[in-house]
C-alpha cells in the first residue's frame, strides 16, 4: 500500500493549491489574466523538461533515487512557495511556481512504473488514489479560505509525509534499460494517444488557467471553489475504480467524446451551483481518458517509465500552450468563448485518435465486443 499512499499524498500536497494560485496572482500580486496564463505555461514547460529527462532516467538508472529525491525537492519547493507569500513579490512567487513545476515532474513516471511492475496493482485503482488526493487537497485548501500561508504549510506537511513513505518503500534489484535520448520509436508507437492527449488537454488547460476566476465570476467563494473542484476529483476516485476491465482504446475514445460534452455544458451555467453536474461529467471524462491513455502506453511497452514520462510531457506541453492561449482568449472572448474553443479541440482530438488507430491497424479495438477485457 505504500505506492498508493504516495500517490494520494503527493496529489493532495501538490495539486491542492491549484484552486488558489490564480486568485493569489490576481488579488495579491495584481497579475493580469494574460500574465497568469504565461506563468502557468512556464510551470508546465518546467514540468515538460523534467518529465522527459527523469522518465527516461528512471528506466536507465533505476527508480528509487529518482522517486525519493523528486519527492524531497518538491517538498522543499512547496515550502519556498509559502515563503514567497511574504517576501520577493510577484517575481519570487512566479519563480517558485516554475521550480515546483520542475521538481514535481521528476518522480511521477518512476512511481507509475513501480506500481505497474507490481502484478497486484491495477492502474485504474492506482490512479483513483491520486484523484482522492486531489479531492482532499482541493477541499482542504478551499476550507482555509484566504489563509493561503496555512494552506501551503498543510501542503508542505503532506508532501513531507509522502517523502517519508518513499524512503521506506522496498525496491527489488533494478536492471537498467537502454533508452535513446530521443526515443522516436516509442513516440511513433504511441502516437495515437500522445497526439489526442496533446490536442484535448491544450483546450482543457485554456479553461483551467482561469477556471477559479470563472467560478468566482458566477458567485463562488474560495470554499465553494474547493467544493466544486472536489466534486470532480472525488468523482474521479469512484469512476477510476471501475475502469480496469475495459480496453484502453475504448476508454480514450469515450474520454474524448465526454470531454467535448462536458466543456459545452460549462457554457450553460449561470451560477456556481449549476456547474456541479458538469463536474461529475468531467470526472467521468478525465477518468476514462487518463486511465485509458496510461494503460495504453504501459501495457504495450517495456520502457514503462519512459513512455509514462512522455505522456506526462505531452500533458505538460498542453500545459504550456493551453494557459498562454487561454489567458489571451479569456481576455479577448471571455470565459465562455474560451470554453467553446476547448470543446471544438476535444472533437478534433477524437478525430485524430480515430485516424491514428486506423493507420496503425488497431481500429478494431473500438468495436463493442472488444471493449471488455477477458
pLDDT in tens, 206-250: 998 888 888 988 999 888 988 898 899 899 999 999 998 899 999
Task: Give pLDDT, residue 174.
Answer: 62
Measured CA to CA, the distance from residue 303 to residue 310 in angstroms comes to 11
173 falls in which pLDDT band (50, 70, 90)? low
User: Any residues with CB less than 8 A from the CB of 316 and at least 6 apart, and which?
Assistant: 44, 45, 47, 48, 51, 105
Measured CA to CA, the distance from residue 258 to residue 243 in angstroms comes to 15
**Residue predicted with more confidence, 298 or 373:** 298
Closest listed residue to residue 211, CA positions, set 255, 259, 266: 266
Average pLDDT for 148-175? 88
Q: What is the pTM of this model?
A: 0.81
Measured CA to CA, the distance from residue 61 to residue 54 in angstroms comes to 10
Q: How much helix, strand and coil, in percent to the nearest 5, is found in the chain?
A: 80, 0, 20
Measured CA to CA, the distance from residue 68 to residue 48 in angstroms comes to 19
Residue 359 reports pLDDT greater than 70: yes
List the domains of the chain with CATH numbers: 2-169+181-370 (1.20.1250.20)
Average pLDDT for 40-64? 86
Amino acid at each position: 500500500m505504500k505506492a498508493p499512499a504516495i500517490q494520494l499524498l503527493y496529489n493532495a500536497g501538490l495539486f491542492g493549491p491549484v484552486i488558489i494560485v490564480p486568485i493569489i496572482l490576481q488579488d495579491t500580486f495584481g497579475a493580469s489574466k494574460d500574465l497568469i496564463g504565461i506563468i502557468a505555461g512556464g510551470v508546465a514547460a518546467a514540468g515538460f523538461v523534467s518529465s522527459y529527462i527523469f522518465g527516461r532516467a528512471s528506466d536507465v538508472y533505476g527508480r528509487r533515487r529518482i522517486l525519493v529525491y523528486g519527492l524531497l525537492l518538491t517538498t522543499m519547493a512547496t515550502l519556498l512557495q509559502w515563503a514567497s507569500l511574504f517576501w520577493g513579490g510577484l517575481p519570487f512567487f512566479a519563480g517558485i511556481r516554475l521550480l515546483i513545476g520542475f521538481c514535481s515532474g521528476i518522480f511521477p513516471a518512476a512511481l507509475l512504473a513501480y506500481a505497474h511492475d507490481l502484478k497486484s496493482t491495477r492502474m485504474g485503482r492506482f490512479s483513483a488514489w491520486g484523484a482522492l488526493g486531489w479531492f482532499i487537497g482541493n477541499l482542504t485548501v478551499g476550507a482555509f479560505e484566504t489563509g493561503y500561508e496555512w494552506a501551503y504549510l498543510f501542503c508542505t506537511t503532506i508532501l513531507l509525509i509522502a517523502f517519508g513513505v518513499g524512503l521506506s518503500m522496498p525496491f527489488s534489484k533494478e536492471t537498467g534499460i537502454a533508452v535513446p535520448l530521443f526515443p522516436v520509436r516509442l513516440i511513433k508507437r504511441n502516437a495515437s494517444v500522445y497526439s489526442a492527449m496533446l490536442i484535448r488537454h491544450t483546450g482543457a488547460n485554456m479553461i483551467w488557467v482561469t477556471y477559479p476566476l470563472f467560478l468566482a465570476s458566477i458567485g463562488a467563494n474560495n470554499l465553494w471553489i474547493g467544493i466544486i473542484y472536489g466534486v470532480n476529483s472525488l468523482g474521479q476516485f469512484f469512476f477510476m475504480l471501475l475502469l480496469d476491465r475495459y480496453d484502453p482504446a475504448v476508454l480514450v475514445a469515450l474520454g474524448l467524446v465526454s470531454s467535448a460534452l462536458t466543456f459545452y455544458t460549462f457554457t450553460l451555467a449561470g451560477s456556481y451551483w449549476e456547474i456541479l453536474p458538469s463536474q461529475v461529467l468531467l470526472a467521468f471524462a478525465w477518468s476514462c481518458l487518463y486511465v485509458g491513455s496510461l494503460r495504453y502506453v504501459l501495457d504495450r511497452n517495456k520502457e514503462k517509465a519512459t513512455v509514462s514520462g512522455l505522456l506526462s510531457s505531452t500533458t505538460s506541453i498542453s500545459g504550456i500552450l493551453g494557459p498562454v492561449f487561454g489567458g489571451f482568449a479569456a481576455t479577448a472572448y471571455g470565459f465562455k468563448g474560451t470554453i467553446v474553443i476547448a470543446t471544438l479541440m476535444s472533437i478534433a482530438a477524437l478525430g485524430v485518435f480515430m485516424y491514428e488507430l486506423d493507420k496503425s491497424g488497431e481500429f478494431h479495438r473500438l468495436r463493442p465486443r472488444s471493449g471488455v477485457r477477458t
